[in-house]
Amino acid sequence: MLTTKISGLELKNPLMLAAGIMGTTGGSLKRMARCGAGAVITKSIGIEPKPGHPNPTMVKLRCGYLNAMGLPNPSYKLFQPEIDEAKHAGVPVIASIFGVDASEFSVIAGAINADAFELNVSCPHAEGYGAEIGTDPALVEGITKAVKNATDAPVWVKLTPNVADITETGLAAQKGGADAVVAINTLRGMAIDIESGHPILGNRFGGLSGHGIKPVAVKCVHDLYSALDIPVIGCGGISGWEDVVEFIMAGARAVQIGSAVGDNINIFSDISSCLEAFLSLKLWTLDDIYGMVHEI
């Protein structure tokens, strides 16, 4: 009842593990798949091993979380075995990748074997990578095109909300040949320790995730659904089944869950069952509620 198809991938449910959460090892990806995720995205993988920013890298705030991991990853040269191990759980494994330019992205996509690629052009706190690329439609289009040329697998582009109009970068991704867009990555944010005046994160600032950003993400998904022809995957602040319904009604074909995994490792199976129960009660299918807000 919850099965979904997105850019050719069959999902048993529309709930995926978001990039950067439990995504560094084959073991952890496998666990999340076994905990009920319909697909899993890896931690973003780059050209060289990267230790990321110094701690504190993540802090829980009253509303949501602030993080600046700094894209720690063992590099694409070492990562294939983790993906292969993750595949054993039987759900699609999507490789999230990042780089400084189109050629780095293509090198990685050409070398890695995964069910799809998610291009992280939206990390708000990794200098030279991420959002500095993702706010420029021309770069987004160019990188997407290059990756499409480098691989036969479906390519998703993950967008940053830190722009004046997310449909501009969404359209650029579509023009570059993307098979889907993912919205959103974290919002730029900062927290300061008032006892000392120190920024709390080792990197001074970081990205805001968790429940507080959900209305921003829902609006982004809504706008992208209106503007694009390719499917939109929603992400940002999901912590319960009601949130998933809201995203799908806004126009998300599927969703990703990140921060909320910390407090509830069983969130995928919990949401799946509640979502099924809700749909049954309402006599609705996933297709019925997909983009529903646009018909009203």
Partner 1 sequence: MRPVDAVITKFVDETPSTRTIFFDTFFEQVPGQFVMVWVRGVDEIPMALSYENAITVHKAGEATSALFELDECDSIGIRGPFGNGFGISGKNILLISGGVGAAPLAPLAERAASSGISVTTMLGAIKKDELLFGKRFETAGKVLIATDDGSEGRKGYVTDLLDDNDVDADRFDSIYCCGPEPMMKKVLDSSIIPEKVQFSLHRYFKCGIGVCGACCIDGLRVCKDGPVFRGDVLKDTEFGKFKRDGCGCKVKV
**Residues with catalytic roles:** 123
* Residue positions counted in the chain: 296
- Part in contact with a copy of itself (CB under 8 A); list of ranges 8-16, 79-87, 115-123, 217-225: 217-225
Q: Can you tell me whether residue 65 is helix, strand or coil? A: strand
- Region of residue 236 (left: phi > 0; alpha: psi -120 to 50; beta: else): left
Residue 186, binding choice from a copy of itself, partner 1, ligand FMN, none, Cβ under 5 to 8 Å by partner class: ligand FMN
Least distance to ligand FMN, CB of residue 239, Å:
8
Rounded to whole angstroms, what are the CA distances from 125 to 24, 132, 169, 186, 200?
A: 19, 9, 19, 10, 14
Residue 24: name the closest of 69, 73, 71, 70 by CA: 73
The rounded distance, in Å, linking the Cα atoms of 277 and 245 is: 12
Structure tokens at 66: 């602030």
Give the total of residues touching ligand FMN (CB under 6 A): 28
> What does the per-residue mask of binding to a copy of itself show for 223-242, with x meaning CB under 8 A?
-------------------x
- Beta strand 116-120 pairing with 155-159: parallel
Number of other CB atoms surrounding residue 59 within 10 Å: 14
Does the footprint of a copy of itself cover residue 222 (CB under 8 A)?
yes
Q: Residues 42 to 61: which contact a copy of itself by CB under 8 A?
A: 61
Q: Residues 145 to 204: which contact partner 1 by CB under 8 A?
A: 191, 193, 195-196, 198, 200, 202
The rounded distance, in Å, linking the Cα atoms of 260 and 107 is: 33
> What does the per-residue mask of binding to a copy of itself show for 161-200, with x meaning CB under 8 A?
-xxxx---------------------xxxxxx-x-xxxx-
In the chain, what is the straight-line distance between the N-terminal and C-terminal CA atoms, in Å?
25
Does the footprint of ligand FMN cover residue 71 (CB under 6 A)?
yes
Residue 202, binding choice from partner 1, ligand FMN, a copy of itself, none, Cβ under 5 to 8 Å by partner class: partner 1
Q: Residues 263 to 292: which contact partner 1 by CB under 8 A?
A: 263, 265
Does the footprint of partner 1 cover residue 75 (CB under 8 A)?
yes
Does the footprint of partner 1 cover residue 27 (CB under 8 A)?
yes
Does the footprint of ligand FMN cover residue 185 (CB under 6 A)?
yes
What Rg, from alpha-carbon coordinates, does the chain have? 18
The rounded distance, in Å, linking the Cα atoms of 167 and 216 is: 14
Does the footprint of ligand FMN cover residue 20 (CB under 6 A)?
yes
Least distance to a copy of itself, CB of residue 175, Å:
19
Per CB under 6 A, residues contacting ligand FMN are 18-21, 43-44, 58, 65, 67, 69, 71, 96, 120, 123, 158, 185-186, 209-210, 213, 235-238, 257-260
Per CB under 8 A, residues contacting partner 1 are 20-25, 27-32, 43, 49-52, 54-61, 65, 67, 69, 72-75, 78, 191, 193, 195-196, 198, 200, 202, 258-259, 261-263, 265, 296
Per CB under 8 A, residues contacting a copy of itself are 61-64, 66, 135, 162-165, 187-192, 194, 196-199, 204-205, 208, 211-216, 218-219, 222, 242, 245-246, 249-250, 278, 289, 292-293, 295-296
